[in-house]
Protein backbone atom coordinates (compact mmCIF):
# COMPACT_ATOMS: atom_id res chain seq x y z
CA UNK A 1 0.00 0.00 0.00
CA UNK A 2 1.75 3.11 -1.22
CA UNK A 3 0.56 6.65 -1.71
CA UNK A 4 2.27 8.05 -4.79
CA UNK A 5 2.72 11.76 -5.17
CA UNK A 6 4.11 13.57 -8.20
CA UNK A 7 5.14 17.13 -7.44
CA UNK A 8 5.60 19.54 -10.35
CA UNK A 9 7.34 16.77 -12.23
CA UNK A 10 9.02 18.20 -15.33
CA UNK A 11 11.11 16.60 -18.04
CA UNK A 12 12.97 18.49 -20.74
CA UNK A 13 14.91 16.11 -22.95
CA UNK A 14 18.41 17.24 -23.86
CA UNK A 15 18.37 19.14 -27.13
CA UNK A 16 14.74 20.19 -26.93
CA UNK A 17 13.31 23.43 -25.61
CA UNK A 18 9.71 22.40 -25.02
CA UNK A 19 9.27 20.23 -21.95
CA UNK A 20 7.93 16.75 -22.69
CA UNK A 21 6.23 16.92 -19.35
CA UNK A 22 5.41 20.25 -17.72
CA UNK A 23 4.96 20.50 -13.95
CA UNK A 24 2.75 17.48 -13.49
CA UNK A 25 1.35 17.21 -9.98
CA UNK A 26 -0.76 14.22 -9.04
CA UNK A 27 -1.80 12.54 -5.80
CA UNK A 28 -2.47 8.85 -6.30
CA UNK A 29 -4.08 7.25 -3.28
CA UNK A 30 -2.84 3.96 -1.94
CA UNK A 31 -4.32 0.96 -3.75
CA UNK A 32 -5.93 3.08 -6.45
CA UNK A 33 -5.89 2.23 -10.15
CA UNK A 34 -5.11 5.40 -12.06
CA UNK A 35 -4.86 6.01 -15.80
CA UNK A 36 -2.52 8.53 -17.37
CA UNK A 37 -4.39 9.27 -20.56
CA UNK A 38 -3.21 11.26 -23.52
CA UNK A 39 -2.32 11.10 -27.20
CA UNK A 40 1.04 9.56 -28.12
CA UNK A 41 3.92 11.90 -27.35
CA UNK A 42 2.08 13.69 -24.55
CA UNK A 43 4.63 12.68 -21.93
CA UNK A 44 2.83 9.81 -20.26
CA UNK A 45 5.48 7.14 -20.85
CA UNK A 46 8.07 9.69 -19.74
CA UNK A 47 6.11 10.06 -16.50
CA UNK A 48 6.04 6.29 -15.96
CA UNK A 49 9.77 5.97 -16.51
CA UNK A 50 10.41 8.74 -13.99
CA UNK A 51 8.23 6.99 -11.41
CA UNK A 52 10.08 3.73 -12.11
CA UNK A 53 13.46 5.46 -11.83
CA UNK A 54 14.42 4.61 -15.40
CA UNK A 55 14.61 8.31 -16.28
CA UNK A 56 15.66 11.26 -14.14
CA UNK A 57 13.28 14.25 -14.05
CA UNK A 58 14.59 17.71 -14.95
CA UNK A 59 12.83 19.09 -11.90
CA UNK A 60 10.09 18.15 -9.48
CA UNK A 61 9.78 15.23 -7.13
CA UNK A 62 8.29 11.75 -6.85
CA UNK A 63 7.37 10.61 -3.35
CA UNK A 64 6.06 7.30 -2.03
CA UNK A 65 4.21 7.71 1.28
CA UNK A 66 5.76 11.16 1.62
CA UNK A 67 9.35 10.05 1.07
CA UNK A 68 11.22 11.21 -2.03
CA UNK A 69 12.42 8.25 -4.10
CA UNK A 70 14.38 10.19 -6.70
CA UNK A 71 17.70 9.03 -5.25
CA UNK A 72 16.63 5.38 -5.13
CA UNK A 73 17.89 3.16 -7.92
CA UNK A 74 15.19 1.54 -10.08
CA UNK A 75 15.88 -1.88 -8.56
CA UNK A 76 15.36 -0.51 -5.03
CA UNK A 77 12.12 1.43 -5.56
CA UNK A 78 9.69 -1.45 -5.38
CA UNK A 79 8.18 -0.27 -8.64
CA UNK A 80 7.72 -2.72 -11.47
CA UNK A 81 6.93 -1.56 -14.97
CA UNK A 82 5.20 -3.80 -17.51
CA UNK A 83 6.07 -2.57 -20.97
CA UNK A 84 3.63 -2.48 -23.86
CA UNK A 85 5.53 -5.12 -25.83
CA UNK A 86 5.84 -7.30 -22.69
CA UNK A 87 9.64 -7.74 -23.06
CA UNK A 88 9.69 -11.34 -21.92
CA UNK A 89 13.28 -12.53 -21.88
CA UNK A 90 13.31 -14.73 -25.01
CA UNK A 91 15.99 -17.23 -23.94
CA UNK A 92 14.30 -18.04 -20.62
CA UNK A 93 11.31 -20.28 -20.05
CA UNK A 94 8.02 -18.77 -18.94
CA UNK A 95 8.71 -19.98 -15.38
CA UNK A 96 12.20 -18.45 -15.38
CA UNK A 97 10.74 -15.19 -16.65
CA UNK A 98 8.16 -15.06 -13.87
CA UNK A 99 10.73 -16.05 -11.25
CA UNK A 100 13.31 -13.50 -12.46
CA UNK A 101 12.47 -10.84 -9.90
CA UNK A 102 12.63 -13.32 -7.01
CA UNK A 103 15.95 -14.69 -8.28
CA UNK A 104 17.34 -11.13 -8.28
CA UNK A 105 16.21 -10.89 -4.65
CA UNK A 106 18.25 -14.02 -3.86
CA UNK A 107 15.25 -16.11 -2.84
CA UNK A 108 15.96 -19.85 -2.85
CA UNK A 109 14.93 -21.86 -5.87
CA UNK A 110 12.39 -24.06 -4.03
CA UNK A 111 10.42 -21.04 -2.91
CA UNK A 112 10.73 -19.44 -6.35
CA UNK A 113 9.34 -22.59 -7.99
CA UNK A 114 6.43 -22.67 -5.59
CA UNK A 115 5.53 -19.01 -5.98
CA UNK A 116 5.91 -19.18 -9.77
CA UNK A 117 3.45 -22.04 -9.90
CA UNK A 118 0.96 -20.14 -7.70
CA UNK A 119 1.38 -17.14 -9.97
CA UNK A 120 0.83 -19.24 -13.11
CA UNK A 121 -2.45 -20.40 -11.57
CA UNK A 122 -3.45 -16.81 -10.75
CA UNK A 123 -2.99 -15.68 -14.34
CA UNK A 124 -4.65 -18.89 -15.57
CA UNK A 125 -1.66 -20.36 -17.39
CA UNK A 126 -1.02 -23.35 -15.11
CA UNK A 127 0.69 -25.65 -17.62
CA UNK A 128 2.84 -23.25 -19.59
CA UNK A 129 5.81 -22.85 -17.21
CA UNK A 130 8.25 -24.82 -19.33
CA UNK A 131 7.38 -23.09 -22.61
CA UNK A 132 9.40 -20.37 -24.30
CA UNK A 133 7.78 -16.92 -24.59
CA UNK A 134 7.86 -17.19 -28.40
CA UNK A 135 5.52 -20.18 -28.18
CA UNK A 136 2.78 -18.13 -26.48
CA UNK A 137 0.04 -15.99 -27.97
CA UNK A 138 0.03 -12.24 -27.37
CA UNK A 139 -2.57 -12.48 -24.63
CA UNK A 140 -0.64 -15.26 -22.88
CA UNK A 141 2.58 -13.28 -23.12
CA UNK A 142 0.90 -10.32 -21.48
CA UNK A 143 -0.34 -12.48 -18.62
CA UNK A 144 3.19 -13.81 -18.13
CA UNK A 145 4.49 -10.22 -18.07
CA UNK A 146 1.84 -9.34 -15.48
CA UNK A 147 2.71 -12.40 -13.38
CA UNK A 148 6.41 -11.55 -13.58
CA UNK A 149 5.62 -8.09 -12.21
CA UNK A 150 3.16 -9.12 -9.50
CA UNK A 151 5.28 -11.95 -8.07
CA UNK A 152 7.68 -9.46 -6.47
CA UNK A 153 4.70 -7.80 -4.72
CA UNK A 154 5.67 -4.30 -5.82
CA UNK A 155 4.58 -1.18 -3.95
CA UNK A 156 3.64 0.39 -7.24
CA UNK A 157 2.75 -1.35 -10.49
CA UNK A 158 3.15 0.53 -13.77
CA UNK A 159 1.45 -0.72 -16.92
CA UNK A 160 2.17 0.65 -20.39
CA UNK A 161 -0.91 0.41 -22.64
CA UNK A 162 -2.06 -2.81 -20.96
CA UNK A 163 -5.05 -3.51 -23.21
CA UNK A 164 -4.15 -1.94 -26.52
CA UNK A 165 -2.44 -4.96 -28.12
CA UNK A 166 -5.38 -7.25 -27.41
CA UNK A 167 -8.44 -7.95 -29.51
CA UNK A 168 -11.91 -7.11 -28.24
CA UNK A 169 -12.85 -10.27 -26.31
CA UNK A 170 -9.40 -10.59 -24.72
CA UNK A 171 -9.55 -6.97 -23.59
CA UNK A 172 -12.38 -7.58 -21.18
CA UNK A 173 -10.81 -10.80 -19.92
CA UNK A 174 -7.54 -8.98 -19.27
CA UNK A 175 -9.33 -5.97 -17.83
CA UNK A 176 -11.04 -8.19 -15.28
CA UNK A 177 -7.81 -10.05 -14.52
CA UNK A 178 -5.84 -6.85 -13.94
CA UNK A 179 -8.58 -5.30 -11.83
CA UNK A 180 -9.14 -8.40 -9.71
CA UNK A 181 -5.45 -9.01 -9.05
CA UNK A 182 -4.85 -5.34 -8.36
CA UNK A 183 -7.76 -5.12 -5.94
CA UNK A 184 -6.83 -8.38 -4.19
CA UNK A 185 -3.23 -7.38 -3.72
CA UNK A 186 -4.02 -3.72 -3.07
CA UNK A 187 -1.16 -2.53 -5.27
CA UNK A 188 -1.17 1.15 -6.23
CA UNK A 189 -1.31 0.89 -10.00
CA UNK A 190 -0.72 3.48 -12.68
CA UNK A 191 -1.16 2.76 -16.33
CA UNK A 192 -0.73 4.87 -19.43
CA UNK A 193 -2.90 4.71 -22.49
CA UNK A 194 -3.87 6.80 -25.49
CA UNK A 195 -7.25 5.10 -25.65
CA UNK A 196 -9.97 6.79 -23.58
CA UNK A 197 -12.08 3.63 -23.66
CA UNK A 198 -9.21 1.63 -22.14
CA UNK A 199 -8.83 4.28 -19.44
CA UNK A 200 -12.53 4.32 -18.64
CA UNK A 201 -13.03 0.57 -18.38
CA UNK A 202 -9.97 -0.05 -16.22
CA UNK A 203 -9.24 2.97 -14.05
CA UNK A 204 -10.69 4.37 -10.83
CA UNK A 205 -9.41 7.80 -11.76
CA UNK A 206 -8.07 9.29 -14.95
CA UNK A 207 -5.41 11.96 -15.37
CA UNK A 208 -5.75 13.49 -18.82
CA UNK A 209 -2.46 14.89 -20.11
CA UNK A 210 -2.46 17.02 -23.25
CA UNK A 211 0.74 18.61 -24.59
CA UNK A 212 2.73 17.67 -21.51
CA UNK A 213 0.27 19.32 -19.12
CA UNK A 214 -2.31 17.86 -16.79
CA UNK A 215 -5.75 18.87 -18.07
CA UNK A 216 -8.05 17.12 -15.68
CA UNK A 217 -7.71 14.54 -12.91
CA UNK A 218 -10.97 13.00 -11.85
CA UNK A 219 -13.14 9.89 -11.78
CA UNK A 220 -13.94 8.45 -15.22
CA UNK A 221 -17.54 9.66 -15.41
CA UNK A 222 -16.54 13.28 -14.85
CA UNK A 223 -14.82 13.36 -18.23
CA UNK A 224 -18.18 12.68 -19.84
CA UNK A 225 -20.47 14.73 -17.61
CA UNK A 226 -18.28 17.71 -16.70
CA UNK A 227 -15.14 18.00 -18.88
CA UNK A 228 -12.95 20.93 -17.97
CA UNK A 229 -12.68 22.40 -21.48
CA UNK A 230 -13.42 21.73 -25.12
CA UNK A 231 -10.13 19.86 -25.79
CA UNK A 232 -10.94 17.46 -22.95
CA UNK A 233 -14.50 16.98 -24.18
CA UNK A 234 -13.23 16.33 -27.71
CA UNK A 235 -10.73 13.76 -26.42
CA UNK A 236 -13.60 11.86 -24.84
CA UNK A 237 -15.65 11.89 -28.00
CA UNK A 238 -17.73 14.95 -27.20
CA UNK A 239 -19.50 16.26 -30.30
CA UNK A 240 -21.95 19.05 -29.62
CA UNK A 241 -20.53 22.49 -28.88
CA UNK A 242 -22.77 25.56 -29.07
CA UNK A 243 -21.44 29.02 -28.29
CA UNK A 244 -23.57 31.40 -26.30
CA UNK A 245 -24.04 33.35 -23.06
CA UNK A 246 -24.93 32.23 -19.56
CA UNK A 247 -27.35 34.51 -17.71
CA UNK A 248 -28.45 33.40 -14.26
CA UNK A 249 -28.82 29.71 -14.97
CA UNK A 250 -30.03 30.10 -18.55
CA UNK A 251 -27.96 29.58 -21.69
CA UNK A 252 -28.83 31.89 -24.61
CA UNK A 253 -27.77 30.66 -28.03
CA UNK A 254 -29.00 29.58 -31.42
CA UNK A 255 -30.89 26.87 -29.52
CA UNK A 256 -32.94 29.50 -27.71
CA UNK A 257 -33.03 29.50 -23.92
CA UNK A 258 -31.72 26.41 -22.15
CA UNK A 259 -32.20 25.82 -18.41
CA UNK A 260 -28.81 24.91 -16.93
CA UNK A 261 -27.98 22.78 -13.90
CA UNK A 262 -26.86 24.71 -10.83
CA UNK A 263 -23.33 26.07 -10.64
CA UNK A 264 -22.77 27.53 -14.11
CA UNK A 265 -21.06 30.92 -14.08
CA UNK A 266 -22.39 33.90 -15.98
CA UNK A 267 -20.68 35.04 -19.17
CA UNK A 268 -19.67 33.63 -22.54
CA UNK A 269 -19.44 29.86 -22.73
CA UNK A 270 -19.81 26.75 -24.84
CA UNK A 271 -22.77 24.52 -24.15
CA UNK A 272 -22.08 20.83 -24.57
CA UNK A 273 -24.14 17.66 -24.28
CA UNK A 274 -23.19 14.07 -25.08
CA UNK A 275 -24.92 12.81 -28.26
CA UNK A 276 -26.40 9.88 -26.32
CA UNK A 277 -28.00 12.22 -23.75
CA UNK A 278 -30.18 14.16 -26.19
CA UNK A 279 -33.75 12.74 -26.16
CA UNK A 280 -36.14 12.59 -29.07
CA UNK A 281 -39.46 14.43 -28.56
CA UNK A 282 -40.80 17.18 -26.31
CA UNK A 283 -39.85 17.50 -22.66
CA UNK A 284 -42.79 17.11 -20.22
CA UNK A 285 -42.63 20.79 -19.22
CA UNK A 286 -41.83 22.03 -22.72
CA UNK A 287 -38.52 23.56 -21.56
CA UNK A 288 -35.11 22.79 -23.10
CA UNK A 289 -36.74 21.56 -26.30
CA UNK A 290 -35.57 22.53 -29.78
CA UNK A 291 -37.01 21.82 -33.19
CA UNK A 292 -34.32 20.77 -35.62
CA UNK A 293 -34.26 19.57 -39.16
CA UNK A 294 -32.95 16.05 -39.64
CA UNK A 295 -30.10 16.25 -42.17
CA UNK A 296 -28.75 12.73 -41.94
CA UNK A 297 -29.59 9.41 -40.33
CA UNK A 298 -27.04 6.63 -40.01
CA UNK A 299 -28.14 3.22 -38.80
CA UNK A 300 -25.32 1.61 -36.79
CA UNK A 301 -26.89 -1.62 -35.56
CA UNK A 302 -27.38 -1.13 -31.84
CA UNK A 303 -27.86 2.62 -32.23
CA UNK A 304 -28.76 5.21 -34.82
CA UNK A 305 -26.77 8.38 -35.35
CA UNK A 306 -28.77 11.48 -36.28
CA UNK A 307 -27.36 14.74 -37.57
CA UNK A 308 -29.72 17.61 -36.84
CA UNK A 309 -29.49 21.17 -38.11
CA UNK A 310 -30.48 24.07 -35.84
CA UNK A 311 -29.65 27.43 -37.40
CA UNK A 312 -26.01 27.15 -38.38
CA UNK A 313 -25.25 24.49 -35.75
CA UNK A 314 -25.11 20.80 -36.52
CA UNK A 315 -26.00 18.58 -33.56
CA UNK A 316 -25.20 14.92 -33.25
CA UNK A 317 -27.73 12.67 -31.53
CA UNK A 318 -27.30 9.00 -30.73
CA UNK A 319 -30.66 7.30 -30.34
CA UNK A 320 -32.20 3.89 -29.95
CA UNK A 321 -33.05 2.71 -33.50
CA UNK A 322 -36.64 1.88 -32.47
CA UNK A 323 -37.26 5.45 -31.26
CA UNK A 324 -36.35 7.10 -34.54
CA UNK A 325 -37.68 4.61 -37.08
CA UNK A 326 -40.42 6.93 -38.39
CA UNK A 327 -38.17 9.97 -38.94
CA UNK A 328 -37.03 10.68 -42.49
CA UNK A 329 -34.17 12.91 -43.61
CA UNK A 330 -35.46 16.44 -44.25
CA UNK A 331 -38.21 16.12 -41.63
CA UNK A 332 -38.39 18.26 -38.51
CA UNK A 333 -37.58 16.60 -35.21
CA UNK A 334 -38.02 17.74 -31.61
CA UNK A 335 -34.98 17.35 -29.40
CA UNK A 336 -35.06 17.48 -25.62
CA UNK A 337 -31.90 18.54 -23.77
CA UNK A 338 -32.29 17.22 -20.20
CA UNK A 339 -31.16 19.90 -17.81
CA UNK A 340 -28.75 17.67 -15.86
CA UNK A 341 -27.02 16.46 -19.03
CA UNK A 342 -26.00 19.99 -20.00
CA UNK A 343 -22.61 21.39 -19.18
CA UNK A 344 -20.98 24.75 -19.99
CA UNK A 345 -17.32 24.91 -21.00
CA UNK A 346 -15.22 28.06 -20.92
CA UNK A 347 -15.03 29.65 -24.37
- Residue 155 or 304: the one with the smaller Cβ distance to another protein is 155
Binding to another protein (CB under 8 A) within 101-120 occurs at 101, 104-105
Stretch that binds another protein, among 144-152, 277-285, 314-322, 334-342 (CB under 8 A): 144-152
Question: Shortest Cβ distance from residue 167 to another protein (Å)?
Answer: 24
Query: Least distance to another protein from the beta carbon of 49, Å?
Result: 8
Binding residues for another protein, total number by CB under 8 A: 24
Could you give the string, one character per residue 151-170, with x where binding to another protein holds by CB under 8 A and - elsewhere? -x-----x------------
User: CB-based contacts of 108: which residues, under 8 Å, 6+ apart?
Assistant: none
* Nearest residue (CB) to another protein, 80 versus 125: 80
Least Å distance between CB 90 and another protein? 8
Cα distance between residue 94 and residue 100, in whole Å: 10
DSSP for 178-203, please give it: HHHHHHHHT-EEEEEES-HHHHHHH-
Q: List the interface residues with another protein, window 21-60 (CB under 8 A).
A: 49, 52-54
Say which residues have a Cβ less than 8 Å from residue 337's Cβ, sequence separation at least 6: 255, 258, 273, 277, 278, 279, 288, 289, 290
Rounded to whole angstroms, the Cα distance separating 325 from 209 reads 40
Q: Is 69 in the site for another protein (CB under 8 A)?
A: no
Cβ partners under 8 Å of residue 301, min gap 6: none
The pairing of beta strand 213-219 with beta strand 240-247: unpaired
Binding to another protein (CB under 8 A) within 208-237 occurs at none
Site residues for another protein per CB under 8 A:
49, 52-54, 73-75, 79-81, 83, 85, 87, 89-91, 100-101, 104-105, 148-149, 152, 158
Amino acid sequence: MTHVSLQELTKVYPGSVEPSLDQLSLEIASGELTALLGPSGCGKTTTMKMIAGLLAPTSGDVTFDGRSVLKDKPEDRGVVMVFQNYLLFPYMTVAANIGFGLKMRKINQTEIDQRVSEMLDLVKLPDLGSRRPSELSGGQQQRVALARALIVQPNVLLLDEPLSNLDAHLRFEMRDLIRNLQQDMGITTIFVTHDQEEAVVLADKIALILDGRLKQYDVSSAFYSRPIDKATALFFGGQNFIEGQVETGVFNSVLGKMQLPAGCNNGAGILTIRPENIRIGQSPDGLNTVTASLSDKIYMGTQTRLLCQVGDSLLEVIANPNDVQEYEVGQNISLHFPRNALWVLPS
